[in-house]
Amino acid sequence: MLKNLKWYDYFIIALIFGIIVLQVYFEMELIDYMAELISKVQNRNSVSAIWQSGQKMLLTACGSMLCVIISSILSGVLSAKFAERLRQSIFKKVNSFSQGEINKFSTASLITRSTNDVTRVQNTMQMALRMLIMAPTMAIFSIVKIVNSSVQLTWATAVAVIFMFAAFAFLFMLVVPAFQKMQKKTDKINLVARENLTGLRVIKAYNTEEFQENKFNVVNEDLTKINYFIGKAMSLMNPIMNIIFNGLTLTIYWLGAYLINSSLLAYPDLVAFTQYGMHILMSFMFLSAVIIMLPRGIVSAKRINEVLKTKTKIVDGTFDGNTELKGKLEFRNVSFRYPDAEMNVLENINFVANPGETVAFIGSTGSGKSTLINLIPRFFDATFGEVLVDGVNVKEYKKEKLNKKIGFVPQKGVLLSGTVEENVKYGNESITEEKVEECLKIAQASFVKRLDGGIKYEIAREGSNVSGGQRQRLCIARAIALDPEIYVFDDSFSALDYKTDKALRKALAKHTKDATKIIVAQRVGTIMDADKIIVLDNGRMVGEGTHKELLKNCKVYQEIALSQLSKEELE
């Protein structure tokens, strides 16, 4: 993660280090001036001499305060900028993931890592920049001072430090595993909450609010138990600190009284020594504050690094996409299985779609239709065989160049927050408003004119303020606006009525006559006019040909067709 730091960030860190050392120096000098002041009062020096020591103390205190302010501002700004770059790195990395990597982490976990974990790292870094520098610096300064003052009192302080270090080490080992569990529980609670919000209408329709509440309560209680444990463990910190602080103070004054009576130590030196001893313990107290934050930061940092270090299986090629052929798609002996799966989802798929042709895929649910077309834009890569676009393996293309050749319309219409115009122009921002209107007309999206503002109408997140059929037509208009060589429709007409479906296919055939159309459909009526229909069954091609040919020689296609239409309609 340190790669996210710039050269000037290291300069700021060095500056913070210098300012904190100066701050500690001022605090040590303040103790010496205080001892000097007490000595002057004891010796009944003049008021002007006492005021002179007081002025030194005041200036030193002001210098220390100024150092605290500057170091706090610098550490806050630096950690905030670091978190900004870290979030950007995660976002960029996730954008490069294939569906396989996203499934590995889960959407809820990736959201937690991009927000909650980054915030924890930011807070830990901000505290560590100051405390991890201040604590050892203060301890070193104080130890040097007390060693020169009294050997007996130095040993008392050393024993207190050993006890404190042992307590901190024990608590650290106790809470680190708990923090790891806590972040996993946070992932789980985010998953349940997100699932609940996404499926709220279904939950209400089936009156399962109580079931969902119980489901949430289970993960909520699990997270609460972990927080209780961590809270109880950390609550030991303050009493342990108080016992050690008060025990050291009592020991120093008890030994100090003996040494003063023996004329081995002066009272001002005892006061100064007490302050130095307290500063040593304070340095460990600062470390304790870091220890509270550090386990969380370490766990979050590891989770962030898991994302940043993950190598995407979809490696960008180098081919710039310039080909003589335009719109040819070919599958050569393609087989595919999902990561960690034992069996192939697709087996030995072979077909060619020439420019201008319409090739349709049909089959029962789970036959591999959507999986097959997901190989074209490289959402996944073929396990065996080759997928060729314009005679070149898709793995050799630069992703950007490959995507420009393909207009992909997903099975579930996905719209982004913004206007209708912005959604249509999403893949091609250079088109005019007139072109947007034309794309909407081809996609049979005349409903846009009736919306408040027309193409300026604001689409809500995930297109929740338009119907399923309207989402599909807007997604089709977005693909048309790209003007690609190959159109891929993944069951993109399923939410349309038959009349709109027919009008849309007719308009598409006219506008995209030179482009290749790949259509996945459940309805035979949608693909009857295709140049070639490929029938899939359990991931295998069991039929290929025109509608009429398949009715004669493909049993699977016959069953599907007769289940939807009568013999007269099919003929």
- The residue segments making up the domain with residue 464 are 329-570
Give the chain's mean pLDDT. Answer: 84
Name the pLDDT band for 19 (thresholds 50, 70, 90).
very high
pLDDT at 147 over 70: no
Does residue 323 belong to any structural domain of this protein? no
Per-residue pLDDT of 511-540, as tens digits, reads 888 899 999 988 888 888 889 999 999 889
Judge if 302 and 335 occupy the same domain.
no
Q: Which amino acid type is present at position 549?
A: E
pLDDT at 154 over 80: no
pLDDT at 361 over 90: yes
How many independent structural domains does the chain possess?
2
Judge if 473 and 539 occupy the same domain.
yes
Per-residue pLDDT of 44-68, as tens digits, reads 777 888 888 888 889 999 998 999 9
Instruction: Please tell me the distance from the alpha carbon of residue 57 to that of residue 64, in angstroms, as a whole number.
Output: 10
pLDDT score, position 321: 83
- Rounded mean pLDDT of 347-362? 92
By the 10 Å C-beta count (0-12 exposed, 13-18 middle, 19+ buried), 405 is classed as buried
Instruction: Show the tokens assigned to 557.
Output: 């296609």
Total-model pTM:
0.70
Judge if 230 and 166 occupy the same domain.
yes
Does residue 491 belong to any structural domain of this protein? yes
pLDDT score, position 384: 92
CATH number, position 203: 1.20.1560.10
Judge if 304 and 378 occupy the same domain.
no
Judge if 191 and 338 occupy the same domain.
no
Instruction: Kindly report the number of other CB atoms within 10 A of residue 221's CB atom.
Output: 11
Q: Which residue has the higher pLDDT, 284 or 464?
A: 464
Which domain-ending residue is among 309, 342, 368?
Answer: 309
Instruction: Please tell me the distance from the alpha carbon of residue 100 to that of residue 97, in angstroms, as a whole number.
Output: 8
Does residue 317 belong to any structural domain of this protein? no
Instruction: Please tell me the distance from the alpha carbon of residue 79 to that of residue 1, in angstroms, as a whole number.
Output: 12
pLDDT at 173 over 90: no
Does residue 465 belong to any structural domain of this protein? yes
pLDDT score, position 428: 83
Q: Which residue has the higher pLDDT, 268 or 134?
A: 134
319: which DSSP letter? B
Does residue 316 belong to any structural domain of this protein? no
pLDDT at 252 over 80: no
- How many CA within 13 A on the CB side of residue 229? 16
Instruction: Please tell me the distance from the alpha carbon of residue 548 to that of residue 528, in angstroms, as a whole number.
Output: 9
Instruction: Kindly report the number of other CB atoms within 10 A of residue 57's CB atom.
Output: 17
pLDDT at 359 over 90: yes
Which of 202-211, 269-278, 352-361 is predicted least confidently? 269-278
Report the interhelical angle of 267-309 vs 118-147 (nearest 10°).
150
- Residue (of 369, 377, 348) closest to 479 by Cα position: 377
pLDDT at 275 over 90: no
Instruction: Please tell me the distance from the alpha carbon of residue 275 to that of residue 120, in angstroms, as a whole number.
Output: 34
pLDDT at 149 over 70: no
Name the pLDDT band for 184 (thresholds 50, 70, 90).
confident
Which domain-ending residue is among 309, 339, 366?
Answer: 309
End-to-end alpha carbon distance in the chain: 65
Distances (CA, A) of 174 to 1, 123, 167, 546: 26, 21, 11, 69
Question: Residue 408's beta-bridge partner residues?
Answer: 488
Region of 418 on the Ramachandran plot (φ > 0 left; ψ -120 to 50 alpha; else beta): left
Distances (CA, A) of 333 to 148, 346, 349, 406: 83, 10, 5, 22
- How many CA within 13 A on the CB side of residue 347? 11
By the 10 Å C-beta count (0-12 exposed, 13-18 middle, 19+ buried), 279 is classed as buried
pLDDT score, position 264: 67
pLDDT score, position 74: 92
pLDDT score, position 287: 72
Judge if 288 and 407 occupy the same domain.
no
* Phi, psi (degrees; rounded to nearest 5) at 162: -65, -45
Judge if 60 and 209 occupy the same domain.
yes
Which domain-ending residue is among 275, 309, 343?
Answer: 309
Judge if 302 and 334 occupy the same domain.
no
Does residue 319 belong to any structural domain of this protein? no
Distances (CA, A) of 376 to 101, 329, 393: 18, 9, 10
Which of 17-21, 155-159, 327-331 is predicted least confidently? 155-159
Does residue 564 belong to any structural domain of this protein? yes
Question: CA 510: distance to chain centroid?
Answer: 44
Question: Residue 487's beta-bridge partner residues?
Answer: 407, 517
pLDDT score, position 570: 67
**How much of the chain, in percent, has pLDDT values that exceed 70?**
95
pLDDT at 349 over 80: yes
pLDDT score, position 571: 66
- Please work out, in degrees rounded to the nearest 5, the angle formed at the alpha carbon of residue 286 by the alpha carbons of 284 and 291: 90
Which of 199-203, 366-370, 489-493, 503-507 is predicted least confidently? 199-203
Name the pLDDT band for 362 (thresholds 50, 70, 90).
very high
Percent of residues in the chain assigned helix, strand, coil, to nearest 5: 65, 10, 20
pLDDT score, position 334: 93
Does residue 276 belong to any structural domain of this protein? yes
Judge if 264 and 381 occupy the same domain.
no
CATH number, position 371: 3.40.50.300
Instruction: Please tell me the distance from the alpha carbon of residue 138 to that of residue 22, in angstroms, as a whole number.
Output: 10
pLDDT score, position 569: 67
Instruction: Show the tokens assigned to 205.
Output: 């329709």
pLDDT at 188 over 70: yes
Residues contacting residue 327 through CB under 8 Å, at least 6 positions apart: 354, 355, 356, 390, 485, 486, 514, 515, 516
pLDDT score, position 426: 87
pLDDT score, position 65: 93
Judge if 350 and 305 occupy the same domain.
no
Specify whether the CB–CB gap between 395 and 379 falls below 8 A.
no
Judge if 238 and 343 occupy the same domain.
no
Judge if 217 and 341 occupy the same domain.
no
Question: CA 429: distance to chain centroid?
Answer: 27
pLDDT at 148 over 80: no
Instruction: Show the tokens assigned to 142.
Output: 């104080």
pLDDT score, position 265: 65
Report the interhelical angle of 209-235 vs 151-198 (nearest 10°).
180
116: which DSSP letter? I
